[in-house]
Structure formats: structure tokens, C-alpha cells
Amino acid sequence: MTIDIDAPIRPSGQRSRRTIESTAVNDALTRGETIVLWDDERAWLGYAADTATTAQTAFVIRHTAGFLQIALPSPACDRHLIPLTPALPSRPSAQGYQQCIGIDAAQGVTTGISAADRARTARVLADPHTDPGDLVRPGHLVVVAVDPDYSGKRAVPRLALRLDASGHGGLVFAELVSGNRPHTMADKHDAVSFALAHQLRIYAGATTPGASLDAPYQTYPPAVH
């Protein structure tokens, strides 16, 4: 079956009798939901840093490449003494963010790589009372610094800025792997199929013609992860 990601997601059969919600994507994130993002020809799973749980992080690691990142405004990276990695000429400035080194929480973690450890690190970084001494560098949760003046349409930097501004610490995200072709990354049809299979909210990013982060989107009621 072909699914047009630009069209509203419509359930069929038994699911057609279920109520479909319509709400803003950032509201879903602030409630602690994991969402699917289709942005810049790539599919991501994302969730708010301050509500990161072990189960949620394990779910995302299991279904992605496992390269977990956390996006937050560059002034926050500076405040926490998290340096940028050397810039690459191939990375366009329009992307809205640049990779920093990885971090771990200084307390309450073991190796730093487990789902529990990376969830804790995300929450520590999101905590407004955290200071540079509460973090270890380098570590296993990779930070990306978002331009605080970014005004483009890509979902990752925009959502990261919104989450930080509302006190939720930034966006944890990783790129989704195709369920049918596990040796490749997900395409737009994989993204929709994954969202439906796991009852996650999906947002077709603002690079899709006519889409906007301020517009409502539709999906099934979310499962708890």
C-alpha cells in the first residue's frame, strides 16, 4: 500500500472507529511523548530531554541507528562548557545546528552508554540547576548546538528551541532505521508505517510543501513508551 505522507493519516478497518487527535507537535513533546519526524528527507524519533525515561530511550535506541543526540541552544552549550567539534565544509549552515562533543552525567551513571545512563544524562542536561561540573566530557550522549536565531523550517532545530524556551531542556533525537530494510535508514513510507504500527504521533516536517510546525497533525492516540 502506498501512503502519501503529505496527506492526513487515515486509519482503516477496526482502527477507523478510533478517535483521532489533532494537536500541535510541541505540545505532544512537552507531555513526554515520543514522536516520529519526517524532516529534510530523513526520519527521526524524538522526545523532550527533561522527561527522558529509560524505557523511552531504549525504545528509540532499538529502532534507530543508536546514535542518540540532544539539541539545545548554543548559549546553553557554552554555559555548560560543551565545545563544538571541528566544522565540516559539507555541513550547510542552513541546517541550524552543529555537532558538539558527547557528554555523560557525572553522577548516577555507569558506562554512560546504556539507555538508563543516556536518559539520566539527558535529564541532567535539561535541569536548569546543572552546572559544568555535573557533566563529564567526552561522553555518550552527543550534543548539538542550535543557532538561537534559527528561523528556518527544519523541525529538529525549531523543536529544540521551543522545548528549551518552555523549560523542557531540548530535543533528544536519533535517525530511524527502516523496518523492512534494516541495513538502510527509513524513508517517508517507513516513517508513516512505523508511526502507525507503534501508535506514535507523526509530524511531516516543514520541508514538506505546505507543512508548518504550528499546524495541527493527525495520528492515533499514542502508546506509552
What pLDDT does residue 45 have? 97
What pLDDT does residue 158 have? 86
* Chain segment 33-45, per-residue pLDDT in tens: 999 988 778 999 9
What pLDDT does residue 43 have? 94
Mean pLDDT of 169-182: 94
Q: Is the pLDDT of residue 202 over 60?
A: yes
* Chain segment 135-169, per-residue pLDDT in tens: 999 999 999 999 999 988 788 888 899 999 999 99
**CA pair distance 139, 136, nearest whole angstrom:** 6
Residue whose C-alpha cell reads 515520543 in the numeric block: 34
Enumerate domains of the chain plus CATH numbers. 23-219 (3.90.870.10)
Q: Is the pLDDT of residue 208 over 50?
A: no
Mean pLDDT computed over every residue of the chain: 81
**CA pair distance 11, 148, nearest whole angstrom:** 38
What does the DSSP 8-state code read for residue 173? E
* Chain segment 68-94, per-residue pLDDT in tens: 999 999 999 999 999 998 766 555 555
Query: What is the pTM for the complete model shown?
Result: 0.81
DSSP 32-101: T--EEEEETTEEEEEEEGGG--HHHHHHHHHHB-S--EEEEEHHHHHHTT-PBPPP-TTS-GGG-EEEEE
Which cell goes with 30?
512537552
Q: Shortest CA distance to 198 belongs to which of 39, 29, 16, 45? A: 45
Query: Cα 44 from chain centroid?
Result: 6
What pLDDT does residue 88 have? 61
The pLDDT-based confidence of 11 (bands split at 50, 70, 90) is very low
Prior bond of 216 cis (ω within 30°):
no
